[in-house]
Structure 1
Amino acid sequence: MSSERKPLPFAATFTAGAIAGVSEILTFYPLGVVKTRMQLETGKSSTGLVGAFQTIIKQEGFGRLYRGLVPPLLLEAPKRATKFAANEFWGKTYLSLSSSSEAKMTQSLSILTGCSAGATESFVVVPFELVKIKLQDKSSTYAGPIDVVRKVIAADGVLGLYAGMEATFWRHFWWNGGYFGSIFQVRAMMPKAETPSGELFNNFVSGSVGGLIGTAINTPFDVVKSRIQGAAKVPGVVPKYNWTYPGLVTIFREEGAAALYKGFVPKVLRLAPGGGVLLLVVEFTMDLFRKALGPPYL
């Protein structure tokens, strides 16, 4: 984030985030399906990443790897736009609160900014995440996204679409803090790029490292979120997984520490390079907008 050039208009940030998000989701979506399946499986898992892929394709067909794709695609534009726009907004807000006129971004501040952006983003994504989880579940009998929305509202009202809000909040809070905080540090450690291709490389590497660290931090929260949103509500029965931190304790006690990282391999295989793709495409697209708009955006 530069203090010298004028921030891009919201429309430019929104478009850059949308393009980056759609690019990432189309490339890595099957890994997300496998990740969800592994997280919904209770007890000790008997199959790994390759085995999970083979089982889904053999028993349900290749197309199942893209089941539930519509909600994420519809979500990517507002989700990624919110992520990067909120990160920029909170960064400028926190810097403006500094008493120094020469205040600059630091790693601590970039972590705080990322966590704030994640908290903001979580409010946008919950209904889409709920629909995606319901469709990706192996036992799902829903006809499609609209069927999920209709049945959830009929059973639990409109607020039923926000089941797992608290868990989603913590998942995005910690991922974005790790992601943007790591990007700041990795960029500072890498040699300054001398060419446009070098700049793209730096963005991909720093985004990939950020995706790796963010995923390592937030996977336990993602496991709990999947359990909360994947469970069917039974009238008069308190859900086994209801709140995030008690849910973490329950999984740890009943299934062991490794269960908190179920689905980590497909998740990190998606979100490490996926985080690189996101940052690369966002920065590349925003650079095109800066050149098109000219000074003072350059």
Structure 2
Amino acid sequence: MAFQSPLFSQLNGITAKDAKVARAFPIHAPAEAGEAPKGVDLFARFAFAGAVGCAITHGALTPVDVVKTRMQLEPEVYNRGMITAFRQVVSKEGSGALLTGLGPTAAGYFLQGALKFGGYEFWKKTIIEQLGMETAVANRGAVYLAASGIAEFFADIALCPLEATRIRLVSEPGFANGLFGGFGRIAKEEGLKGFYSGFGPILFKQVPYTMAKFYFFEIAFEALVKATGKQKEQLSSGAITGLNLTGGVISGCCAAFVSQPADTLLSKINKTKALPGETTTGRLVKIAQQLGLRGLFAGMGARFVMIGTLTAGQFAIYGDIKRVLGATGGYELAKAK
């Protein structure tokens, strides 16, 4: 019997001797082989990987974030280092206080991570297509900065209400019982303004932070791959994960330093309500003057630990999930170089 379909025509005339080979290496129709994701499907996978990475890392580091926020808001009380501050919080309020704000933290950074990582890949692709690959490679640092900055702007729109809720829960014990209670109380008492009173500071913090985060990660990862003496495709998945972790630590520490003053201002402005007629800009200037340079960098040690750890975790998780989902179709300017 001869096969008429072009898909199976190569089976015509197969001998018994070749049967073992045919069974060992079965022929798959193109539909069975599957195609690499592209378009909306590809960017949805990027977004999901980023959402999971950010939610897990920020959620896991909630205790560090609680202590860091307390050190920023009450430096006169929590002024003997991060370890002592941990002990002070536990002694006063119990170990459960270290998980204050876990709900809004996980939910907020799930949304933010999706828009940040997925948006970064989308805007990077858009910018590269506008510039052309040769120009983009020659100016890849500017491409990283622009793509991450735009992505973070939209991510912050989603993050701001949940970050305001988290800070209120941490700074005012007893304010509400968790995410839904805190979110509902702010909505009822202050409305939309209550959620977005810190939008300016959060942009001031998150946009430079994210720009530094992606820029330094891309540069560090490129250098780390070069140091191995191999092409990225020649490295094992374990080696890639290790490079993602190392690059994440480097980029996280750089990003933490760049964004620390704005992080302190964000914590302060969300703790107190605005006076009648007081603008957000006016409040920020007043708070900065009261704190001084030293006060703006309060809690820097805790934030280095927090941001360095979570950034390393984010890039490692992001890379691993992308690989599992087959989301490997993004533009890599270092590779093109």
* TM-score of the two chains, using structure 2 as the length reference: 0.77
Note closer, same or farther for the CA distance 1:277–1:100 as it changes in structure 2 (3 Å cut).
closer
- Letter matched to residue 104 of structure 2: P
Q: 2:51 and 2:164 mapped to 1: Cα distance?
A: 20
Identify the range of structure 1 (184-193 vs 199-208) with the bigger mean alpha-carbon deviation: 184-193
Name the residue aligned to 1:243. Answer: 281
Q: Tell me if the contact between 2:55 and 2:113 (Cα under 8 Å) persists in the aligned partners.
A: no
- The residue correspondences of 1:160-175 to structure 2 (distance < 5 A) are 160-175=194-209
- Letter matched to residue 156 of structure 1: E
C-alpha deviation, 1:295, in angstroms: 9.2
The structure whose RCO (Cα within 8 Å, separation 6+) is larger is 1
Q: Tell me if the contact between 2:47 and 2:119 (Cα under 8 Å) persists in the aligned partners.
A: no
- Letter matched to residue 19 of structure 1: V
Identify the range of structure 1 (128-137 vs 192-201) with the bigger mean alpha-carbon deviation: 192-201
Q: Does 1:180 align with 2:214?
A: yes
Note closer, same or farther for the CA distance 1:100–1:212 as it changes in structure 2 (3 Å cut).
closer
C-alpha deviation, 1:60, in angstroms: 0.2
* TM-score of the two chains, using structure 1 as the length reference: 0.86
Two-structure CA RMSD over aligned residues (Å): 2.7
Name the residue aligned to 1:205. Answer: 246
Q: 1:255 and 1:52 mapped to 2: Cα distance?
A: 20
Name the residue aligned to 2:106. Answer: 73
Q: 1:112 and 1:47 mapped to 2: Cα distance?
A: 39
Q: Which runs of 5+ in 2 are unaligned?
A: 1-35, 332-337
Q: Does 1:147 align with 2:185?
A: no
- Letter matched to residue 142 of structure 1: A
Q: Tell me if the contact between 2:66 and 2:98 (Cα under 8 Å) persists in the aligned partners.
A: yes
Q: 1:188 and 1:33 mapped to 2: Cα distance?
A: 34
- Counterpart secondary structure, 2:61: helix
Work out which of the two has the higher radius of gyration on C-alpha atoms and give 1 or 2: 2
Name the residue aligned to 2:115. Answer: 82
Q: 1:70 and 1:254 mapped to 2: Cα distance?
A: 32
Q: 2:167 and 2:42 mapped to 1: Cα distance?
A: 34
- Counterpart secondary structure, 2:47: helix
Q: 2:328 and 2:291 mapped to 1: Cα distance?
A: 57
Note closer, same or farther for the CA distance 1:50–1:6 as it changes in structure 2 (3 Å cut).
same
Q: 1:45 and 1:221 mapped to 2: Cα distance?
A: 19
C-alpha deviation, 1:77, in angstroms: 2.3
C-alpha deviation, 1:92, in angstroms: 1.1
Match of 1:120 among 138, 154, 159: 154
Note closer, same or farther for the CA distance 1:14–1:154 as it changes in structure 2 (3 Å cut).
same
Q: Does 1:273 align with 2:303?
A: no
Name the residue aligned to 2:166. Answer: 132
- Letter matched to residue 209 of structure 1: I
Q: Tell me if the contact between 1:18 and 1:76 (Cα under 8 Å) persists in the aligned partners.
A: yes
Identify the range of structure 1 (26-35 vs 189-198) with the bigger mean alpha-carbon deviation: 189-198
Name the residue aligned to 1:29. Answer: 62
Identify the range of structure 1 (252-261 vs 178-187) with the bigger mean alpha-carbon deviation: 252-261
- Counterpart secondary structure, 1:131: helix
C-alpha deviation, 1:161, in angstroms: 1.7
Q: 1:83 and 1:160 mapped to 2: Cα distance?
A: 24
Match of 1:61 among 57, 81, 94: 94
